[in-house]
């Protein structure tokens, strides 16, 4: 897949799926803006994806804060003069039983996972030209329920609705908006707190009999960010090794 000289922003890109996406976009020829909560994390990730002919920019940004999102977009435009691809990847998934879930727990998850995508997309769209792509990272939790993740499941269901409605509005501008819904992926956020038993249980539920890798997700994102996907918009592409098939 060729994305030579395109300019892409990836949020939540210092580790996990976001870093995998940044690496794959750079491999496909994109200049990549690496964004995450802390500058040091962004700098380290940018160093990891650096390669000849590829420019990187590291910008700290909390996607839930409009002023920081506006700064991310304006720094990108200042450095590269254009923005072709936005990947809304930043997300949190703190397990909390519903009975114990506080209003603050609920708000935090919606602010990062759903409002973050809204803020980034709205600021990006103002600068994007025809042929640009937005890819939102949803989750299979948008399609099936997970105990302890009521707020997360709601936020990712929201991401799917956001994807469809925005795709419709941006069709006139010829900007594609799609989502990728990962299953269980090996990332620091997902696996650090997993016991051996939890891991075995997860793998047992996946027909492919393994957890996914960040690159499994990144390849789907690279496709949706490419011209090969020009006629695909408003879709949610499930990448889960078959988890949701039964
Ligand atoms: P992760 O925790 O390993 O990485 C997420 C990154 O997002 C971190 O670097 C974190 O610092 C950053 N982040 C958190 N809040 C942020 C904010 N307010 N602004 C900017 N950055 C912020 O998680 P991951 O597993 O790589 O998840 C990435 C995305 O994939 C998330 O949207 C998640 O919901 C989704 N997802 C993950 C899985 C999985 O199994 N790993 C499954 C389905 C969906």
Q: How far apart are CA 28 and CA 5, in angstroms?
A: 9
Tokens read off for 62: 């909390």
Q: Which of 93, 152, 162, 243 is catalytic?
A: 152
Report the predicted TM-score, pTM, of the whole model to 2 decimal places: 0.99
Average pLDDT over residues 233-246: 98
With left for phi above 0 and alpha for psi between -120 and 50, is residue 234 left, alpha or beta? left
- CA angle in degrees (0–180, nearest 5) for 164-5-115: 30
The reply to whether 152 belongs to the active site is yes
Q: How do residues 106-123 score in pLDDT, each as one tens digit?
A: 999 999 999 999 999 999
Give which of 58, 80, 194 is closest to 132, Cα–Cα.
80
Average pLDDT over residues 175-187: 98
Residue bearing the CA closest to ligand 1, atom 8:
12
Average pLDDT over residues 129-133: 98
Residue bearing the CA closest to ligand 1, atom 32:
91
Say whether pLDDT at 1 is over 80: no
Strand order, beta sheet including 31-36: 56-60, 31-36, 7-10, 85-88, 133-137, 176-182, 236-239
Atom of ligand 1 nearest to the CA of 65: 18
Q: How do residues 52-61 score in pLDDT, each as one tens digit?
A: 999 999 999 9
* Residue pointed to by tokens 């010829």: 174
| pLDDT for res 193 | 81
Average pLDDT over residues 187-197: 92
Q: How far apart are CA 113 and CA 97, in angstroms?
A: 19
Say whether pLDDT at 2 is over 90: no
* Residue pointed to by tokens 């990062």: 112
Tokens read off for 16: 């996990």
Q: Kindly give the distance from the C-alpha atom of residue 74 to the centroid of ligand 1, in angstroms, as a whole number.
A: 23
* Ligand 1 pocket by Cβ (under 6 Å): 11-12, 14-18, 36-37, 62-64, 89-93, 112, 116, 137, 139, 182, 184-185, 187-190
Q: How do residues 11-42 score in pLDDT, each as one tens digit?
A: 999 999 999 999 999 999 999 999 999 999 99
Which backbone phi and psi does 132 adopt, to 5 degrees? -75, 160
Tokens read off for 7: 């300019």
Atom of ligand 1 nearest to the CA of 88: 32
Say whether pLDDT at 200 is over 90: yes
| pLDDT for res 236 | 99
Cβ neighbours, 10 Å, residue 144: 12
CA distances from residue 183 to 104, 180, 246 in whole angstroms, order as listed = 26, 10, 13
Q: How many separate helices (H) and strands (E) can be counted in the chain?
A: 9, 7
Q: How far apart are CA 127 and CA 4, in angstroms?
A: 19
Indicate the length of the chain as a whole number: 246
Tokens read off for 9: 């922003």
Cβ neighbours, 10 Å, residue 234: 17
- CA angle in degrees (0–180, nearest 5) for 163-167-170: 135
Residue bearing the CA closest to ligand 1, atom 16:
90
| pLDDT for res 171 | 98
Q: Kindly give the distance from the C-alpha atom of residue 106 to the centroid of ligand 1, in angstroms, as a whole number.
A: 16
Q: How far apart are CA 174 and CA 23, in angstroms?
A: 26
Q: How far apart are CA 91 and CA 156, in angstroms?
A: 10
């Amino acid at each position: 897949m060729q994305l030579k000289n395109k300019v892409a922003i990836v949020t939540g890109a210092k580790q996990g799926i976001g870093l995998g996406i940044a690496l794959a976009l750079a491999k496909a020829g994109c200049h990549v803006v690496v964004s995450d909560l802390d500058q040091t994390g962004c700098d380290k990730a940018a160093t990891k994806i650096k390669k000849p002919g590829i420019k990187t920019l590291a910008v700290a940004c909390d996607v839930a804060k409009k002023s920081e999102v506006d700064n991310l977009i304006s720094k990108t435009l200042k450095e590269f003069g254009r923005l072709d691809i936005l990947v809304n990847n930043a997300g949190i998934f703190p397990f909390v039983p519903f009975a114990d879930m506080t209003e603050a727990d609920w708000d935090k998850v919606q602010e990062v996972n759903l409002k973050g995508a809204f803020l980034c997309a709205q600021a990006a769209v103002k600068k994007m030209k025809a042929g640009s792509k937005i890819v939102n990272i949803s989750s299979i939790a948008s399609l099936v329920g997970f105990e302890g993740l009521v707020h997360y499941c709601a936020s990712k269901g929201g991401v799917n609705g956001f994807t469809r409605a925005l795709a419709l509005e941006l069709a006139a501008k010829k900007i594609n908006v799609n989502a990728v819904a990962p299953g269980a992926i090996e990332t620091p956020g997902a696996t650090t707190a997993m016991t051996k038993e939890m891991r075995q249980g997860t793998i047992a539920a996946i027909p492919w009999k393994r957890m996914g890798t960040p690159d499994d997700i990144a390849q789907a994102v690279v496709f949706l960010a490419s011209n090969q996907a020009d006629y695909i918009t408003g879709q949610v592409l499930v990448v889960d090794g078959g988890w949701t098939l039964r």
